[in-house]
Structures are given as C-alpha cells and as structure tokens.
Structure 1
Amino acid sequence: MQKTQASTFMVKSSVDPACTRQFSALFLDYLGQKPELAAFYNQFPAIGNFGKLIQERRFDKVRRERLVRVLQEQYAGIALGEMSSHQIISLADDNTFTVTTGHQLNLFTGPLYFIYKIVSTINLAKKLGDAYPGYHFVPVYWMATEDHDFEEINYFKLDGKKYQWKSDQKGPVGDFVWDGGFKEFLKEVSAFAPEFFLQAYQSSRNLSEAVRKYVHHLFGEKGLLVVDGNHPELKKALIPILKADLLTHDPYTLATAQTQRLDELGYKSQIYPREINLFYMQKGLRERIEKVGDIYKVLNTDIQFTQEGIIEQLESHPERFSPNVVLRPVYQELILPNLAYLGGPAEVAYWLQLKSMFDHFEVPFPALLPRNFAVILDQSVDKKIAQLGLQDTDLFESVLDWKRKFVEHQASVDFQMETEKAQLSALFQKKGAEAAALQKSLQNAFEAGKVRALKILEQLSDKVRKAEEKRLEIQIKRRTDIQSFLYPGGSPQERTENMMRFFLAKPKLLDELLEMFDPLDFSYMILRTDAQQSAN
C-alpha cells in the first residue's frame, strides 16, 4: 500500500482490489493473468502490448471517412474548439486510433463511476501517445442512446436524496424529449446544478443531444469525442453480422460455447446470449425480435416479417435494428479504429464471453481494461478514520466484523468469560462423574445443569458486551458514519453518489482526477481531499 501526494488538494493511496470484496473471481483472475483465461482475450492491457494491437488494427479509408462524416454531422450545432475539431479530422488518418468507454445516458452524469470511466479513457489515450509517439490516440465515449431501460437512468442521487424524472415515454432513451415530468425535475435541481448542465438540457431537443453537450463541456478540451452508434450510415457496417444473427444464429452459438467454457472453469456468466440478439426500433419503440416458426415477430407489437421481409428491411433500414449487449461490442469495433475498451468489472467479464465471436467475424478484439476504481474521502470522514486508527484496508471490512473485534480489544472487562466457562464446565463434569458413582442418572442431571449454567453465563456475557458497546458508542458511531459515507445506501460510493457531491465544493475535481488516475494501475484508489492529512 503506497501513498503519494500528487495534487493541490488530494492525497492518493491504494489497496488491492481483492480486499474490497467488490469484485468477482473472474474479474480478479483476469487482472492476475490466470493462464486458463488467456484464450478468452487478445492482449493483456500492458503498455508494451499495444504495439501488437496497433499492427493488427488496420482500418480502411472508407470506414475512417464515414466515421469523420458522421461525427461532423453529430456535432453540428455545437461550438467546437480547436482540440475537438482536430480530434474528429484526425480519425481520417491511418495512424490514428481510438480507446473507448461506453455508458448509459444518466441524468447529470449519474453515479461517479461514469466520470471515472471517461477520465480513465482520456488518460489511456495520453499514456499511449507518450509511449507510441508515431501514432495519435483519441479517447471516445460511446453513448448508449438505444438503451430502453429508462428506470435505470431517470434519476441521480446527491447527498442521500434521489432526484428523478418521471415520464411515460417509451423506446430508446436517447430520443426522449422534455415533457412535464422533466420540467418539474429540472426545476427541482436548478437551485444547485451548475449552469452548463442546465444550458445543455435547455438548449437540446432530446436526451442524447443534452448528454453530448454536457460531456463535451466537461471533457471536450481534453480530447474526448462522443459517438452515437444510432446512425444509419454507421449501422450499414453491421449488416453482415446482423444477417448471421437473424438467419444462422452464429453469435448465439459462438458466445454460448465461450460462456460454457467459462462456466466449466467455475466462473459465473454476466450475459446470456439469445438466438436473436436484436431489437426492432422505431420512434417510441424498441422491442426484441423473436423467430416463431418461419416468422420473425417483434414482441409486444403486431409487427412481423417473413425471412425475405426482414432481410429486405435490414438492408433498406439498418437503423431500425438495435444490437443487444452481445452484439454491441462487435458493432463498436466495426466502426471505430479501436485498440481498447474500458469498462466496469461486469463489462470486462462479459467481453470475455465474446472473443470467439470476434474471431469468427474477423474483427480484432481490443485490449480490455477496467476503468479506475476510487472512493473519495472528505476531511470530516478522514478525521473519524484517524480517530479510530483505521488502516486503508480496514475501510472495506464489514462494520459488524470491525465492531466485534473493536469491542473485544477495548473492553474494560472480560465479557467473553471463556476461562470461567471452561472452569464451570469442568466443575459440572467432575461433580457429575462423582455423583454417577452413587446413581448413574445423576450424571445426566449434572450435564443438563451444566447446559443451563453455561446458557446463563452466555446471557450475562451478552449483557456485559452490550454495556461495553454502550460505553464505546461514540467510536462505534464514528465507524457507522464512515460506512455510510463509503457505502451510501449500502452500495459503494462510486456507484451511488453524483459528481456534484464533490464538484460543487471543488470545481477543479476533474483536473484532480485526471492527475490522479492511471488507467494501467488496477488498484483501488482512496482519495483524500485534504492534502495535509498524514498517511495511514
């Protein structure tokens, strides 16, 4: 565990991800480069391995020019600085490659780890540029505009309060427009939300446009480009794979076999491939396609196609077909000159289920990197940590386990009474044996008496323990306060709190994170916002 002061107001320390108890065995074994997993990915994300990825990632001029053209269209209406304009144009160059992360269209960025994903991706592009100066690397945020799970993204949490947009709109969330529910939501948050957020929403036609604007405001000058895969020109590249999905179910067969191999190694699946991994999408509609007999049906609608009809529809309107989690990764790699994907632990794990599908369709498999993981501590909670003498690894221990050990260590009396219990047990055993010489049944009576006596002693032990806990209630409350800060609502801070929890007090937060994060260091970071705090 190492601590370094690397910024004006933050101190960083780190722990092994395994000690946090937040990650699956598959994820940890991947980070540990367990030999049995080597067949499930291409190159492990070490800086020296990217040279191999660059050599195998040739991307033809037609696809590059199409990508530039689409991005220029998608950024129309946004004032681009010199950096963003250069980044878009650079994608036409054979020596330019991308590194990518993806996420849903959360309101006001949603949980902190959305920010962590993007910061990690920007920093990876920078590290690659330093290591491979003959090439240019562009960080990309892939907007999940086609997602239809509105309940997952229609809120954010700040200081324990949930701010929610209630709407009855259906279909891909990127198309959602501002209704009465959104106006009420925006009115509620406008008292504290930074102006650039409000401007992004108020000046946009729909959710995808607003997210592009605020992400561009936050990270555009750091080189980040925002890509929306929901575009007919881009989806043309996916048509051959979508045909295979509809007609011969190759993605299902390949991903299922890969998943079974992981299962045989004892790992749990993250995703479950279907025979058809596509949704049919129109305005206000995104529903799964299923084949029933010879007919392709769009679930929960009256829409259906013959085989000839659905292929004709695919070729003439590819934008109406939306890939699910099985096909989205290969779609991304078809339209981007991509070298790496950065995601959370579940994302890294499910990409490992897809390598054989990439090989089958001759699409290069990118390096898989976990985005950086972190918890931010403010001065008040860090003071409580110091008062209790907690080490960094102690922060991830359950409060119950900590309390048990703490009370035992700090107790003014021996409430466990182990010596007394042993003495009492020995006494009953000895006297029972003596009494049995007079009458055999007396031994059973002494044994029953021993059980009752030990139970009474145990009850007294519990009473003394509770008295000790009462005496130590200030320290115990400090520990529960720390837990609530690290795990608000029972979930890790980075999966719950919004960036504004720290950004409103520290406007330079993103610059600090960019300085702190190292995308090739897979440790779990603890960031203290008071640079004067001493190391644990």
Structure 2
Amino acid sequence: MNLTPLQGVSSPALAERYRQGDARLRDLFGSHPSIAEDWRKRAQLLDRTEAGRIEKSELASVLRDYQARLVPSEAVDRSIEELARPGSLAVVGGQQAGLFGGALLIAYKAISVIQAARHAESLLGRKVVPVFWIAGEDHDFDEANHLYVANAEGKPRRVRLDRPDGARHSVSRTPLTEEQWTAAIEQLAETLPDSEFKPGLLDRLRGYSGDAPTLTLAFARLLSEWFGPEGLVLLDADDPKLRRLEAPMFRRLIEDNESLELALKQGEEKVGELGYSVQAPLAQSCANLFLHSEHGRLLLFREENGFADKKKLRAYSREELLALADRSPEALSNNALTRPMMQEYVLPVLATVLGPSEIAYWAGLGQAFGQFSLELPILVPRQSFTYLEPGIDKLLSKYEVTVTDIMSGGERLRDEWLQAQDKWRLEERFEEVRAGIAALYAPLLDTLAEIQPALGDLGGVNQGRLMEQIAYLEKRAADTVAKQHDVSLRQWDRMRESLWPLGKPQERTFGTLHFLNRFGPNWLKEWLNVPFDVTGGHRLADK
C-alpha cells in the first residue's frame, strides 16, 4: 500500500504532542518509543522484577484454556509457551469487544500490537509476544453491541444486537440467546451488499455464534481467526480463571486505596501544570474498583466504615472486601485507572499500544504506578489510517479536492459546488423578491395599523403567508436544480461517506467487516506488511 501522512485529523492535544516527542511529556511518561535505549531499559527492569508478577506457568495455563475456546492456532500456542518462559516480554494492547469484530480501529490496534512486538524483537534480539487484552469486564453493552457497514448504495447503516433486559452486567457476563445472534446476522446479511466474499463471511459468523456465546467470546473467535496466524494471544480481563490469579493485586488496591487516590490526584495536577485537561477526572473517594453483583457492575466508593456503591446496594467493611478479594476475586474488576496496574501485574509489559484518548488518560498514572513500586511501560501510539477505496481517488480529482478537504469540510464544499452550478442566481433573485415585498408592505402595514391595530396584525399575517409561499417556491426551484446534478451530488456524498462517514474518522465508524465483504480476507492481511511507524500518526493508505 502507498502511505501518505494526513495532517489535521482530530486527536487530543496531549497525545499528539507526546507522539511528536515533546520533552515535557516524555518526562511525564518516563520513556518514548522512538528512543531505542528506553526499550532496553524497560526490558532490563522487567527482568529484575519478574518475581513481582503472576507466576508465568499459571498464567500460561489460563491462556491455554481460553485459547481452547477460540480458533486453533499453532502460532498462538507457541506464543503462550514463550510467555511461560523466564525472561519473556510482551507488547500489549486492548479494547472492549465489538459486535462482529467492531470498528476498524480495533483491527488496527491488534495489527499495531503485532508490529510493535516485531519492532521490539529487532531492537532487543529477544522474542516479544503480542497480547490483546479484551476488556470484557466493561458493562457498556450499548457501546459494544453494534457496528456500521455500508449498504448497496454506500450509505453507512448500523447493525445491532439487542441488549437483554435486566441489570447491566459486564459484557462477558451478559448471556445471549441463539435467536438474538440469528437476528443480528440476518440484519447484517440484509445490509451488506452482495459480493463474492459475503457467503463465506456470514457462514463463519454463524459458526462462531452457533453455541450462543457472549459477545466477548464471539468477538475473540473472530480476532483469533484474523490474527492467530501472527501469534497474537487473546485474553479476557473478565475471565474468572485469570481473576483468581489477580487476587494479590486486588488486595493491594484495597489496602492502599487512600494512597492510590492521592497519587492519582497528584498525577492529575502534573497534567494540569503542563496546560492539559484531564481525560478521565478522578471522582472524590472513588475506589477505582467495581463489584459484580445481582444488581449489575457497581462502582465502589470509600466510606468511613469501608466501601459501598453510590446507591448503597452493596456495602463492605475494609476487612470484608479484602476477604472477598482473597475468596472470590472474580467478584471484583478494575476501572480505566486501575486496569493498567493490573495489566502490569499479569504480564511482562514491555510496551502497551494505546489510542489517542488512552494516552491522554495514562498521562496521569505515573504517580499511581510509583506508589505501587511500578514504572509505566513504553506507550506506543496506535497506527491510524484512512483507506482510500478504489474509485474515490478519481472523484477527488474530478472535483479538485483532497482527502483532507473532504474530512474537514466535505458537506460545506458539496453545498458550495452546488451553489456554483446555479447560473440563474436563484438565491439572489428570491432575496430581491423578499426585500421588494417587505418594502411594499411596510407603508401598507402602517396605514392598516392606523385604521385599526387588529387590521395591521392581519396585514402582517398576510405578508407572512406570502413569504412562506415564496420560500416554498424557492425550495422547489433549488430541488429542481439539485436533481439536475443528482449524479454529481451522489458522488460528493460517496466521497464523504467513504472518508468521513457520519462525521467521524473512517476507522471509528465502519466495521472491519465492511472492508472484508468488499475486498476479501487478504485485505486485512496486507495491513500486517504496512511499514510500522513507532510514533503512530494518521496516514492515508491506498493501492
């Protein structure tokens, strides 16, 4: 693929400055992926602190059990064996599950993890394992239960899997029925345009959902098909077997909860001192831990006598919560601010791949890591792309616009182009008519008001109705002009719907399935050979 840097694609300012190597932010994070020595120092630190993490053979056993539920892969089996060895290293990236693989950015993140692991291997001369951490503990089902694909007319359409009634449990604990999966796949089949790849794609989706799995498990099966051959290890943060290995870290998060909050506040202050706003502001007395209960996934807060959720549905003394962490750690889960520290306890994290928003909230975690005698891993910005679909380049040339033009103001440019086709100057002509009528009516309305105020009001109503008729005529005239340029307007819409669908970046809107249905499975594999940029950035890709 041909790659061209794209400027001006929206991204949190802090993440962009970090990506570019701002020295102040490099100090805040402690390292930068562009500095080879930082990778070596991080590897040496992990070698020295190996005893402070989960015992590797136990972790490998959990990972093998989870992999047994996915698409078989010898490459993944070898990766797990490598993780079990002393001195193993990993590059980690994660995301909440998404229906049928979710948005394209999830695939880009998995690819970034694989490529970053390869990059680290070349720097260190050691095996580095790519790991994808599925945030199955998240309970925002409505964020995970849909994806967008283009229909036969090229219009983005949402395909959705309905959320079961009841309390909001984690996505990995939300049961789904065979009927729900069948309905979602049928909706997808009706929406996707016919292609040579569509039947096989739908058959695989039916196979991965035939036993009515959770949304997380179906997602993991699809990712294991796509990236298992590259040795990408998948884990579910809400895997009860993994949770049982995490009990010691949950205990520490409970025991040191006050100092954790203080450290997080100090981190927020450091970010503020640099002139940036905090991405995920800390709530007062928040324990930064969730409890799984019959009421759903409940965020806990510290109270004078222990911990409770806001509605006081569940409450524990400190000793009771510690006992729960020891006895049933699967009843607990992390939030966005403590998940990075749990990840650090579970895996030998050489580097973690993050999106722009994630980098922004990790900026405040340095002090919290230090409070737990940890150091931030190297933060690698996720690779970000806009794919120039075949034919779009010709339309850009035809209308003399660039990809950036369409992304930043496509709708405005479309309207300006249409206005330029109006050789009759309709808008100007109708404005002249409105101004003329207003000028003619003004003295008449004054006279009518002198005769009787009510008569003046009636005259105003009469003028308003006349203006409405003129507006109606103007709209009909504009619609007629637009219809004369219907083909061109649809081409303008095609550019916007491909490059900036629904007013958002392509990778955040369209699902990976949108492209696999059009271009086949090899399309995704080609991204694995795209040149890796360790500092990320948004690039335009085309063949």
Q: TM-score range by the shorter chain?
A: 0.7 to 0.9
- Name the SS of the counterpart of 2:391 in structure 1: helix
Contact 1:97 1:338 (8 Å CA) reproduced: yes
Counterpart-to-counterpart distance in 2, 1:355 and 1:102? 19
Counterpart-to-counterpart distance in 2, 1:147 and 1:245? 23
- Name the SS of the counterpart of 1:46 in structure 2: coil
What is the Cα deviation at residue 400 of structure 1?
5.9
Contact 1:27 1:349 (8 Å CA) reproduced: yes
Q: Name the counterpart of 2:515.
A: 502
**Residue 26 in 1 paired to residue 14 in 2?**
yes
- Which whole-Å deviations, capped at 9, do the CAs of 1:358-404 have from their partners, x for residues lacking one? 11211231111221111112222221112123344434331366469
What is the Cα deviation at residue 37 of structure 1?
1.7
Pairing 1:322-333 to 2, within 5 Å after superposition: 322-333=333-344
What is the Cα deviation at residue 287 of structure 1?
0.7
The one-letter code sitting in structure 2 at the alignment partner of 1:33 is: G
Counterpart-to-counterpart distance in 1, 2:420 and 2:218? 54
What is the Cα deviation at residue 245 of structure 1?
4.8
Q: Name the counterpart of 1:37.
A: 25
- Listed as ranges, the gaps of 5+ residues in structure 1 are 1-5, 418-462, 532-536
Contact 2:396 2:403 (8 Å CA) reproduced: no
The one-letter code sitting in structure 1 at the alignment partner of 2:500 is: Y
**Residue 313 in 1 paired to residue 291 in 2?**
no
What is the Cα deviation at residue 293 of structure 1?
3.3
Q: Name the counterpart of 1:154.
A: 145
**Residue 217 in 1 paired to residue 235 in 2?**
no
Say which is worse superposed, 218-227 or 261-270, in terms of deviation.
261-270
Contact 1:123 1:519 (8 Å CA) reproduced: no
**Residue 337 in 1 paired to residue 348 in 2?**
yes
Identify if the C-alpha distance between structure 1 residues 295 and 44 changes in structure 2 by more than 3 Å, giving closer, same or farther: closer
Say which is worse superposed, 313-322 or 474-483, in terms of deviation.
474-483
What is the Cα deviation at residue 93 of structure 1?
2.0
Q: Name the counterpart of 1:448.
A: none
Q: Name the counterpart of 2:314.
A: 303
Q: Name the counterpart of 1:52.
A: 41
Counterpart-to-counterpart distance in 2, 1:294 and 1:305? 8
The one-letter code sitting in structure 2 at the alignment partner of 1:51 is: R
- Which whole-Å deviations, capped at 9, do the CAs of 1:315-371 have from their partners, x for residues lacking one? 222221111111001110111001111121100111111011111211231111221
Contact 1:175 1:207 (8 Å CA) reproduced: no
Identify if the C-alpha distance between structure 1 residues 303 and 340 changes in structure 2 by more than 3 Å, giving closer, same or farther: same
Q: Name the counterpart of 1:525.
A: 539
What is the Cα deviation at residue 497 of structure 1?
0.5
**Residue 387 in 1 paired to residue 384 in 2?**
no
Identify if the C-alpha distance between structure 1 residues 474 and 204 changes in structure 2 by more than 3 Å, giving closer, same or farther: closer
Counterpart-to-counterpart distance in 2, 1:322 and 1:77? 22
Contact 1:70 1:233 (8 Å CA) reproduced: no
Say which is worse superposed, 211-220 or 331-340, in terms of deviation.
211-220
Contact 1:277 1:323 (8 Å CA) reproduced: yes
**Residue 490 in 1 paired to residue 486 in 2?**
no
Across the two proteins, how many residue pairs are aligned to each other? Answer: 466
Contact 1:244 1:251 (8 Å CA) reproduced: no
Pairing 1:137-176 to 2, within 5 Å after superposition: 137-159=128-150, 160-166=156-162, 167-169=164-166, 170-176=168-174
Counterpart-to-counterpart distance in 2, 1:267 and 1:224? 35
Coordinate RMSD, CA, aligned: 3.0
**Residue 201 in 1 paired to residue 209 in 2?**
yes
- Name the SS of the counterpart of 1:505 in structure 2: helix
Contact 1:120 1:519 (8 Å CA) reproduced: no
Identify if the C-alpha distance between structure 1 residues 75 and 407 changes in structure 2 by more than 3 Å, giving closer, same or farther: closer
- Name the SS of the counterpart of 1:194 in structure 2: helix
- Listed as ranges, the gaps of 5+ residues in structure 2 are 151-155, 191-197, 429-473
Counterpart-to-counterpart distance in 2, 1:403 and 1:74? 50
Q: Name the counterpart of 1:450.
A: none
The normalised TM-score by structure 1 is 0.79
The normalised TM-score by structure 2 is 0.78
Q: Name the counterpart of 1:63.
A: 55
Contact 2:292 2:332 (8 Å CA) reproduced: yes
Identify if the C-alpha distance between structure 1 residues 146 and 213 changes in structure 2 by more than 3 Å, giving closer, same or farther: same
Q: Name the counterpart of 1:228.
A: 236
Pairing 1:60-459 to 2, within 5 Å after superposition: 60=50, 63-78=55-70, 80-133=72-125, 135-159=126-150, 160-166=156-162, 167-169=164-166, 170-179=168-177, 180-189=179-188, 192=198, 193-203=201-211, 205-230=213-238, 231-246=242-257, 249-274=258-283, 275=285, 276-282=287-293, 285-300=296-311, 302-399=313-410, 402=413
Identify if the C-alpha distance between structure 1 residues 292 and 13 changes in structure 2 by more than 3 Å, giving closer, same or farther: same
Contact 1:45 1:367 (8 Å CA) reproduced: yes
Of 499, 514, 525 in structure 2, the residue corresponding to residue 511 of structure 1 is: 525
**Residue 15 in 1 paired to residue 14 in 2?**
no
The one-letter code sitting in structure 2 at the alignment partner of 1:168 is: D
Contact 1:229 1:235 (8 Å CA) reproduced: no
Identify if the C-alpha distance between structure 1 residues 204 and 185 changes in structure 2 by more than 3 Å, giving closer, same or farther: closer
Identify if the C-alpha distance between structure 1 residues 408 and 263 changes in structure 2 by more than 3 Å, giving closer, same or farther: farther
Counterpart-to-counterpart distance in 1, 2:67 and 2:533? 27
- Which whole-Å deviations, capped at 9, do the CAs of 1:238-270 have from their partners, x for residues lacking one? 134322354xx2222111121122123221211
What is the Cα deviation at residue 82 of structure 1?
2.4
Counterpart-to-counterpart distance in 2, 1:172 and 1:243? 21
What is the Cα deviation at residue 519 of structure 1?
4.1
What is the Cα deviation at residue 408 of structure 1?
10
Contact 2:100 2:218 (8 Å CA) reproduced: no
- Name the SS of the counterpart of 1:315 in structure 2: helix
Q: Name the counterpart of 1:434.
A: none
Sequence identity (%): 23
The one-letter code sitting in structure 2 at the alignment partner of 1:196 is: R
The one-letter code sitting in structure 2 at the alignment partner of 1:136 is: K
Contact 1:126 1:137 (8 Å CA) reproduced: yes
What is the Cα deviation at residue 150 of structure 1?
0.7
